Copies of this chain bind each other. A is one copy, B any other.
Amino acid sequence: MLQVRPFDIEIGQHKVMLNLADARERGLNAGDRVRVRTKGAATTAILDTTTQMVKPGEIGIFTEALKELKSPTSVDVLPAPKPASLCYIKKMMDKQKLTEDQIRAIVQDIVDNNLSEIELSAYVTASYIHNMDSQETEWLTRAMIETGERIHFDTHPIMDKHSIGGVPGNKVSLLVVPIVAASGLLIPKTSSRAITGAGGTADLMEVMANVEFSAEEIKEMTEKVGGVIVWGGATNIAPADDKLIKAEYALSIDPYSQMLASIMAKKGAVGADSVVVDMPVGPGTKLAAPENGRSLAKDLIDLGERLGIRVECAMTFGGSPVGRTIGPALEVREALTVLENKGGPNSLKEKSLSLAGILLEMGGVAGRGEGYKAAEEILTSGKAHKKLMEIIEIQGGNPQIKSEEIVIGENCEDILAPTSGYVVAFFNKRLVELARMAGAPADKKAGVIIHKKMGERVKKGEPLITICSSSDWELESAAKDAKRQMPIVVEGMLLERYPRITEL
């Protein structure tokens, strides 16, 4: 029996630490699985070894395993076999095909935290190098759906929307969801928070309402008001995704089959029948040109067919931000302005109506080619605005909220055009960086207002952008950085030499 030394640190997996001498005596090595037993409780954990932290005769046990063992004072340790999923990951490395059960075993072990970071990373790396075929990707998607919570609606069709991301200011869900819900269709939209961006849809919606709900609550609210806009991370829907994202993010890779499966698993788990996928195209997005999007669109549609989900993909202009704001509160204010029919940028309105229109057509409430117009009617009639207010109310927000009441960071600074001319270069990623430097997305009131877009005429001294923040020093640092390396480039002389640009 080994004396327990509690390591009260949550590390996301069952882990124990033995002195190297004890490990050797038991024929164990770091990375091995062990069965840890005490009277009345047992668990499997991954072993690490040390020469310093734990003395011979002791065992360090981290929080997760401690809990499962009910904080014992002494335990017994035996070798345990590696999980079978590790063999299947090895098969992937060897470019062999996996069976449905093997893929399911991997996903289940990911969800159950049964794989060490080393093993999880090997899976992500192997799946980046060797894409799965479409049959395997279907099984992967099904496994991701089935290892999490699912929503079963009684009414159908269920509509959904996804964006592959890459364009800043993409607040369109705040318009698409209420338009679709106002048409009578159900749209239980789960969204993400920003990881590297300045605000995900969940960050935006949180400016006006709660976004953390269970799958059961999502179902109830959607059945009551037709739609919700919530944070998917608060549910247990397709839980493998969050664990995979951690390794993918650390390695800055996005394995293709895994991306397809992650998108469709989240849609399949909420019971979606029809999904529109927004695919922004342009420099800085994931798709440099429409050609690049076509095979992705085909693969998403094929995967949807295998799962019984109709998918349509919309390649959208991603060369500059959608609308003229980046950052949660600023984006919400802009979206509300459009919903209140008080103006707002055309790029936002058009993109939202296009995507909503596709869903209205897919849902059968508008004829083919008539979705855009139907969506526009719902928007201009005020029905979409009314519906968003219902959604806000059921999610615990203030249904009387007006665009002008959305509070923006009080510290703002204009970044001025250093010369007269035209906007000849426009760097999306820099704008997102500046919004993040100003505090977005954690500071909901921080962000960037864009005054001039590509090709627009500018006079020297006119503001190009305004940066806002709740914090004066964060504003200062973002503004300084903006001036050091301008996100929007104005040049006069070049226009004479490139007449094509004057046509813009």
Please tell me which one of the listed residues B9, B86, B117, B125 contacts residue A93 in the complex, with CB atoms under 8 A apart: B125
Please tell me which one of the listed residues B50, B250, B251 contacts residue A10 in the complex, with CB atoms under 8 A apart: B50
Chain B contacts of A77 at CB under 8 A? none
Chain B contacts of A442 at CB under 8 A? 21, 24-27
> Least Cβ distance of A26 to chain B in Å?
8
Chain B contacts of A125 at CB under 8 A? 93, 121-122, 125-126, 129
Please tell me which one of the listed residues B7, B118, B441 contacts residue A250 in the complex, with CB atoms under 8 A apart: B118
In the complex, how many residues of chain A place their beta carbon closer than 8 angstroms to a beta carbon of chain B?
53
Copies in the complex: 2
Contacts A130-B129, A252-B82, A253-B90; is A27 near B436 (CB within 8 Å)? yes
Instruction: Indicate if the CB atoms of A29 and B130 lie closer than 8 Å.
Output: no
Q: How far, in angstroms, from A9 to B7 measured CA to CA in the complex?
A: 8
Chain B contacts of A246 at CB under 8 A? 30-31
> Least Cβ distance of A318 to chain B in Å?
22
Chain B contacts of A95 at CB under 8 A? 129
Chain B contacts of A9 at CB under 8 A? 7, 9, 17, 53, 60
Contacts A82-B252, A129-B126, A130-B129; is A247 near B90 (CB within 8 Å)? no
Q: How far, in angstroms, from A406 to B472 measured CA to CA in the complex?
A: 77
Instruction: Indicate if the CB atoms of A29 and B195 lie closer than 8 Å.
Output: yes
**Interface centre among A8, A118, A130, A443, by most B CB within 10 Å?**
A118
> Least Cβ distance of A420 to chain B in Å?
35
**A52 near B: Cβ within 8 Å?**
yes
Please tell me which one of the listed residues B7, B31, B196, B441 contacts residue A24 in the complex, with CB atoms under 8 A apart: B441
CB contacts under 8 Å to B, within A103-136, are 116-122, 124-126, 128-130
Chain B contacts of A30 at CB under 8 A? 246, 249-250
CB contacts under 8 Å to B, within A20-69, are 21, 24-27, 29-31, 48, 50, 52-53, 60, 63
Pick 24 A–B contacts, CB within 8 A, sort by A: A7-B9, A9-B53, A10-B52, A10-B53, A25-B442, A25-B443, A29-B249, A31-B246, A31-B249, A31-B250, A90-B251, A90-B253, A117-B118, A118-B247, A119-B250, A119-B251, A121-B122, A121-B125, A122-B122, A122-B124, A125-B125, A125-B129, A129-B129, A129-B130
Which 10 A-B pairs have CB atoms at the shortest separation, nearest pair first? A31-B250, A121-B121, A125-B125, A25-B442, A118-B121, A24-B442, A122-B125, A117-B117, A118-B250, A10-B53
